[in-house]
Structure formats: C-alpha cells, structure tokens
Structure 1
C-alpha cells in the first residue's frame, strides 16, 4: 500500500484468528516527500510541504450523518500531561470543563484516568484525539462520561470508557459508560465501551450523529441497579443518526434497542444501522423502532452460548414495537400507537453455533429471508399483525443516508473484528472480546449471589435461569483464580518510553513539524492549512489524522460507497 503518512502502521494478527489485531507500530523511517525544499547540509525542509490530499469531513474515514462535525477545528489546543482527575491544568477534565471555545485535546500520557465524579461534556466545538497518546492509549474508569444537552460539534476518537461498579450506589446505579441526548453534529469513532450498570452506549434524540467502528461489550447485569437486572448494550436513535461497523458483544438485552425520544415525531426519527456485528445476546437482541424510519442493512448476528435455543429469538433481526401503553400515551403523544417503517436487507444470522438441526435452520432461514424469519415471526403476542400492517412496515427503498462504506455482512464481520475499537493499540480486554466473538465462546459469567433467584426483598432479580456464559455482573467476575492482591480488571496501558517533544505546545511534535517544514517554535502554524493541498484541514488535524490513516484505509477495503 502506498505510504500516505508520516507514521504508517502494520497489523499483527493472532495466528489463525482473523479478528484480533495487536498493537500497530509506527514507522518513523518514511522517506521525505519529493518536492520538499532542503537546507544545505542537513536535509531539513525550510518551507512547508503538502501531504497527500484526503477526503474532507470531520476526519478522513468519518461517515454517516455525523461526518461533517467540525469539532475543535481551528481552536485552542489542550495537552493532557497528567492522568489525575483533579481538574488542574494538564488534566483531561481541565480541557473539557475549563477551556472554553473551540478546542482540540491531545495527550502526552497513556494510562487509566480514574475519574472522581461524572465527566460531562457541556460545551461543544471539541475534538478529543485519543490516538495521540504515546503508548497504549487512554481509558476512563470509575464514573460515567456523557454529552450534555444541546452540545454541538463533538469528535471523540480512540478512547476507552470502562466505568465498572466501583462506585456502587453512587455512579454505578443506572449509569451508561458513555452516552448523550439532545446534541447535534457528533461523531464517535474507534472507541471501546464496557462495564456499564445501565446501557454501555446510549445515543438517541441527537441530530446528525454517527457511532462507528466501536467495541461495545460486557454490560453488567446484576450490578446493584436499584431497578434490578440490566446488562444492556444500548439505546440507539436520532434525527439522522448512523450506527455502523460496531461490535456489540455479551449483553443480556438492548442489542440495540432502537428507541425514539420524547421529542420524536412521526417524521424526524431517521436511523441507519448497517454492518454491525451482534454477538451472544441473551434475553433480547435488536428490538423497538417505534415510529422510526430505519435501515437495517448487512448486519451480522452471531448467536453465542448465552443465546436462547429452541426459539425464534435465535434468528431475530429485530422485534418491532410501537408505543401503546397508558404511560406511553402521556410520554410519547406524537408517536402513540404508530408503527415505524423499515428497510431490512442483507443481514446474516450466523449458523456456526449449532444446537441441533432446528436452531441451525432458524439461522439459515433468517439469513435467506430476513423479513419472514427474522422480523415477521418476532412480534410480541400483544400485537395483531395483519397483512396490511406488514405492508406498511416494509419499505421498498432505503431511508436516505449520508455516505457509508458498506460491506457484505460476512465481510463486515471480518473487518469489524480486525479494526473496531481502540485498534491502534488494542488492550488485552478488547483482544479477548474479539477472540470470543470470532470463535463463538464466552469465558466468564456472572457471580452475583442472586443468580438463580427470582424476587428477594424489594427487587425482582429475574435470574432463575442465570448465570449465562458471557453475561457478567461485575468487572470483578473476570478475576482469575490465581490472581494476586494487586489484580485489577482494568488492563495495564503502558506509557511510551519516548514522548515526542512539542516545544511550541501546538499539539504537533517537533519532529513532525521539522519534517514537513513547519516551525516547532511557532504555535500559530498548527491552525494554518499549509499541509493540506486542498486547504481544508488544519496542520494539527493533518497530524492527528495521519496517526491512524492506515487503519482507515485498511478497514474500508472490500467495501462499496
């Protein structure tokens, strides 16, 4: 492949396993591009040279309805130099809460940031470039992270959100690892989310939104939520929202739940869900979609050891719902008793986990005829489904969507497992999740004492048939039998021994600036557009996007736009 970047990356895979990529090492031996002016004797460029032009969007590879978010483009730079969460200068919290206006957050550290309270993004025009962390990257632990209401223009890339239940009774009572509502122009790319006590990732009621190439895994079922069992993947919806090339693995339900918001009308909910991989659902896979206009295209559903056998749920693509209860009439008056409409095509239900001929055939039939065996046979018994209802539910053409590179479902399975999540440097946790999804196993199960019980006291634990493989109750359930006293569920993220110098604090390392003819002692050139031949991206954006461009190029192979 032609080298486009200052940094190029090579992928290392587990032998025989298509889905597990190891850390992608940077290659600092790239040749200087032709045409660069040189100083006599030292070979350093004296004038800026352009790099190869790339497609203009939030970043190269940004797709779907959120692809045009501008983030912190042209604004201030905040450099994270500390893993502390005390809100002082140099912390992530400072950059999010104290720096106002358009801003880009870059990192000079790698490791786990143990949050001391919820981290809420209340002001937009923000880019968080997790790929700049020197080493294994950044993980946010302990408390939820969320987008505040009415936040506009946010780009978040290559971060981990692993909340856990350490703050049980405080943050852990019904919290999402990462989520947000009522924002617009938002794109979340190549992030990893796990260990929530409600949903891992819920984004709905947003406008112009994309969640792409993320790993969403192991929500906590009996975590101490006062409402009882949860363990949910996420609620997905929005007014032009795209959810593509994500892996959802090891959730009891909401895989995902397509959910309108209380502000939804019969016309404004437009959702595109394509090329996602859904593995090892238990109580429910995908359902909902009340009064929504939805594409469900080329997704790959893979039953796992927790997936019910001997039931049509095994072949479920979606169980469509509508709002019909008395409480729904009060909360959702604009869409009460209203069906959505759906374009459903090209989805595959994997037949690799075989529990007899009947289950095998359920998967095969759903793959060959998505509607008859993956949708029409999935309705709750409370609905009366006539031929007229079936006709109104089924769109003959897709809902309009922004550009998304689309793979076949089977190619999407391979590409998502190779490149989703923080794949610049996958931690041991994501490697395990990807390996489980690839091989069809689940290595852990819930250890809460209420597994196997129904109602105890005020809580209906609904757990007579639990635990189930892959459905955990706490991150502590992952503890090996021989673990020492210092064991932690959060994987170690190593700091690089060499942190690139950045003399002018513009977010661009000196070495890169010298190579491309920028001035490492002039911070203002970070917001210039001298490196992009099309004069769209700032020099800072060209640098941070270059760090992962090889991943973007490779993940889109075999796809069609």
Structure 2
C-alpha cells in the first residue's frame, strides 16, 4: 500500500440517458488524497467510467447528512425533531438515560456524558431504538469525553440493540460482552424489516452471533465502521461480523477483522418478498484475518437474484495464520446473478498489494459448486460484467479509492477515530505488524479475554457547557447555530457543514444583531410594547413578543 494513486468514480457529471462511452475502466488521478468530508475540486484527465446498461436509470439525490453514501444515504430526516440529551450512564427508563432518549421517534440524541452504558435486559427489556432517530455519538467526544460504548450488564440471549427504520447511528461503539450460552445468539444490532438505516463511524465487537444482522431490510448503508473480534461460542455457527439479508445495501470504507465467517454475508430477503433484483455495493473495505469466509453472496431462492459492484477492496492474511485462501465467494444460483469486480481488488495471498498480476476474476470462487472442496474453484465468467452498475456510489460520484491506498485513505478515518480504545488499538497494531489472533474457529471463543483487554478506561466529560434551552447546542454557539441541532451535530465531524450565514430575515438573533433580525447591521429594533404583554414563545433562548 505505498502509492497514493486514487480512483474517483465521479459520474455525477453524466446526464442519465446520455452516458459517455470510454474504453478506460478505471480512470486515475495523480497523487490526490481525499480527506473525508473535505474533498478537493477534481478534474478528470480522462473520461469517467462507463455505466452498465443492464439496469434502468435510477437517480439518487439528497444525502441524509454530509458524507453519507450508498443506498442508506438518500432520505430526509424530519425537520420537526425533538432533542433528547443523555445525561447519565445508568440504564433505565427515566429521563436522561440512553434508553429513554432513543425510545421516541423524530429525535436527535445528544450526549452530555461519556463512558460505558451497561444494558440490563432483565430489568428493562431489550434496548429498542424508535424510527426517525439520530444517535449523534460524536457529541460524546466533546469536553474531553472519549465516546460512548454500549455493552451488556450480564449474559442474556438476543441482540443488544434493535433499530427501526429511518435511523442514523454515528460515532459510538457497541461491544456486547462475554457469553457462553450455546443455544442462541447475540448481535450488537438487529434490524428486522427496516428501511433507510445508516451506520457511520461505528465500532462493534464481542458478539456471539453477527455484530450486525439486517433481516429483510433495504436501503441500508454501513460506512467508515469497524467490525472486529466477534465471539464464536456457537459450535459451527459463531464468529461472524455481518449478515445483510435484504435489498439495496451498501458497504463502504469499513474494516472487517478477526472473524470466522460472514464477513459480510449478503443475500436476498430471508422471509418475504424475496423475488426480483437485489443490489449490493461493496467498496473500499478491508478484510483482515478472516478464518473461513470473507465476502459471501448466498441463499438465492424464490426468483431472487443479485447484482453487485465490488470495487477497490483488500483482504489481508496475517503472516502467523496458515492456509491462505481466496476471500470472495459468490452464489451461482440463479444463473441471472451478475457481479462487477474491479481490477483494484487485492488478496494478499493471491494478488499481493501493489501488483496486478493475474486475472482478478480468479479471486472469485463458487459457493454452490465448490462448497465441499473448500471453495477454491473460480466462478464461471458467465457471471461477470465488465462495467459497474449504476448504483448510488457510481451514479453520484462518491469518492472511491484505489484498492492499494486504503491504508492512507481509509484507516486513519475509520471508526471512532477521536479515541482508539483497547480493541481498536490492538487491531491497528495487528494490521501494522501483519500478525493476528490464531485459532479462530466456530465454537471455541466464549470470552472477551481471549482477544486481550476488552474494555479500557474511557474518560468522561468535564466542564460541560450550559445549554439553557435544551436543544443540545451549548449557549456559546446558540448565536451561530440557532435552533439547528441537526446542523450543529453534523458540523462536529463532517467539516463540510458551515454555520449558517447570518441574515436579517432568518428568524434568529445572530451576527451583530441586538434582537431577532434587528439591530446592529440590520434595521433598528422596535421598542418593546407596553401594556398587556404575554410570552407567546421563544427561539434560541430569546423571548419573542407578538
């Protein structure tokens, strides 16, 4: 991973129906490094990618927050949201708990604490997150805090968190915990029959089943996240990072590490409405120390079939782990499945980073025809397409890096980069030394201690600034952000959300105004009325008289 060459698939300049044809499959730009949230202006020296003609045109517009990509990115968070603040690390249903804050729809969750939240299912039930909820974990890194980690208070079956539709999860960790019950499962997250779900800069580990399980869910994105060190206490089944059953899902800029299987496993709907096309994007992900299966597509039945873009990914086998194998396994049933696999996918055993020797398609093995033989035979080229499908990251021109630059362009910004706890520090040391956990097989890992320190100290917050009107914005920034909590929490991490420019008609007292839209460089404020005055409302902690 030495060169900084970057592939940007900027196709947004194309007008649908008037596509540019070009023989170049991967146009390159010279030594341009995009920092997340602050992309430079780019000019192509060659034409953009050809778009696959096999799919109908499908425009994508209006990402839910700046920097969101993929199928889970294009929906609108409600503008009539409320703000609920987490002010205690204790579990429970009372005001200020995480459970209380996430229980009501149309909510932005802001943290005024940092540290560990131990979920107690026996006392309070599963932790269920309502629809139209934005968990702004980035707010737990203010005032010296080192973020939020959610774990179990004791052993119990089932997921740590259930998440509904139209949810945003950003910048927090779910590290479930040791558990030795072989009879059931325990995910960090379960999303069943949901739509419009996005995970951004999340870290998940220590689960006895998948870290994330999307069951019959569509319009899903998992981006800039770390899925690492799942337990494998279920014989023949455990040690899995991700299962994505559903339609229209995107996985971008993630690390999947130290796991046995399903890294991730992507397949059509599991129970209902299986028939028809299921689209998947798998872009700029890094797999490390995946014991059995890497990326796998499977379980196509009842008229379901797959189209997938697999672009710029890497798979790294540690030097201390034997029997290297190839990491992309695809279902060849039905025969209508089609996969685009770019030439900048690298398998450290078969196509070492920095080389392009060999046909990339030979990295692909068949799940159905070769399952008994360890999945070592290349999949027939009848399933291959040579140009990417017009899925969101292609159609919208999202930044896509050359596969051998992920160390520079993805690793520094993945997960909760504001603070690396013990688990993630261990992972990055492993990536650098190319040594990983040994003995990863289903059924043998029941304790977090197998991996090492699981829960390092997390600093809490100190000197939390007053927020008089309870909108999640500290008093010192009220004049800048007004009541735009959504913009404020995004600005903490994106670098692409400037504070609103003050005007004399924005309904906010800001800039040099001495009242709402008056005084300073605006028109003079009228003298307060005399007589019978009533406080009809307030905005930004400023009393409004009318």
Task: Give the TM-score normalised by the residue count of structure 2.
Answer: 0.69
Counterpart in the other structure of 2:310: 296
Tell me the alpha carbon deviations over residues 227-285 of structure 1, each in whole angstroms, 9 at most, x when there is no partner: 55511121134321111000001001111112222235453311111100001111222
Q: Is the 8 A contact 1:348 1:366 kept in 2?
A: no
Q: Distance in 2 between matches of 1:381 and 1:427?
A: 38
Counterpart in the other structure of 1:512: 477
Q: Distance in 2 between matches of 1:75 and 1:286?
A: 37
Q: Is the 8 A contact 1:349 1:367 kept in 2?
A: no
Equivalent position to 1:131, from 123, 130, 138: 138
Aligned ranges for residues 342-361 of structure 1 at < 5 Å?
A: 342-351=339-348, 359=349
> Is residue 2:211 matched to residue 1:200?
yes
Q: Distance in 1 between matches of 2:419 and 2:388?
A: 36
Tell me the alpha carbon deviations over residues 520-546 of structure 1, each in whole angstroms, 9 at most, x when there is no partner: xxxxx52xxxxxxxxxxxx11121011
Between structures 1 and 2, the one with greater strand share: 2
> Is residue 2:415 matched to residue 1:405?
no
Q: Secondary structure at the match of 2:380?
A: helix
Counterpart in the other structure of 1:477: 450
Q: Distance in 2 between matches of 1:443 and 1:283?
A: 14
Counterparts in 2 of 1:164 and 1:139: CA distance versus 1, 3 Å: same
Counterpart in the other structure of 2:417: 423
Tell me the alpha carbon deviations over residues 424-463 of structure 1, each in whole angstroms, 9 at most, x when there is no partner: 22223212212212321126767xxxx8xxxxxxxxx777
Task: Give the TM-score normalised by the residue count of structure 1.
Answer: 0.67
Equivalent position to 1:84, from 83, 87, 90: 90
- Root-mean-square deviation over aligned CA pairs: 3.3
Counterparts in 2 of 1:438 and 1:182: CA distance versus 1, 3 Å: farther
Aligned ranges for residues 439-518 of structure 1 at < 5 Å?
A: 439-442=433-436, 472-479=445-452, 489-514=454-479, 516=480
Q: Distance in 1 between matches of 2:369 and 2:229?
A: 26
Equivalent position to 1:191, from 175, 182, 202: 202
Equivalent position to 1:113, from 90, 110, 117: 117
Q: CA offset at residue 350 of structure 1?
A: 4.8
Counterpart in the other structure of 1:58: 64
Counterparts in 2 of 1:177 and 1:183: CA distance versus 1, 3 Å: same
Q: Secondary structure at the match of 2:102?
A: helix
Q: Distance in 1 between matches of 2:113 and 2:217?
A: 32
Q: Is the 8 A contact 1:186 1:208 kept in 2?
A: yes
Counterparts in 2 of 1:196 and 1:444: CA distance versus 1, 3 Å: same
Counterpart in the other structure of 1:157: 170
Q: Is the 8 A contact 1:128 1:157 kept in 2?
A: yes
Q: Distance in 1 between matches of 2:79 and 2:181?
A: 39
> Is residue 2:255 matched to residue 1:247?
yes
Counterpart in the other structure of 2:490: 545
Q: CA offset at residue 108 of structure 1?
A: 0.2
Q: Distance in 2 between matches of 1:145 and 1:69?
A: 26
Worse-superposed segment, 234-243 or 338-347: 338-347
Tell me the alpha carbon deviations over residues 54-94 of structure 1, each in whole angstroms, 9 at most, x when there is no partner: x9521110111111233454311100000011111100101
Tell me the alpha carbon deviations over residues 271-303 of structure 1, each in whole angstroms, 9 at most, x when there is no partner: 111100001111222222443211111111111
> Alignment length, in residue pairs?
416
Counterparts in 2 of 1:156 and 1:339: CA distance versus 1, 3 Å: same
Give unpaired runs (5+ residues) of structure 1: 1-54, 324-336, 352-358, 452-460, 464-471, 480-487, 519-524, 527-538, 554-561
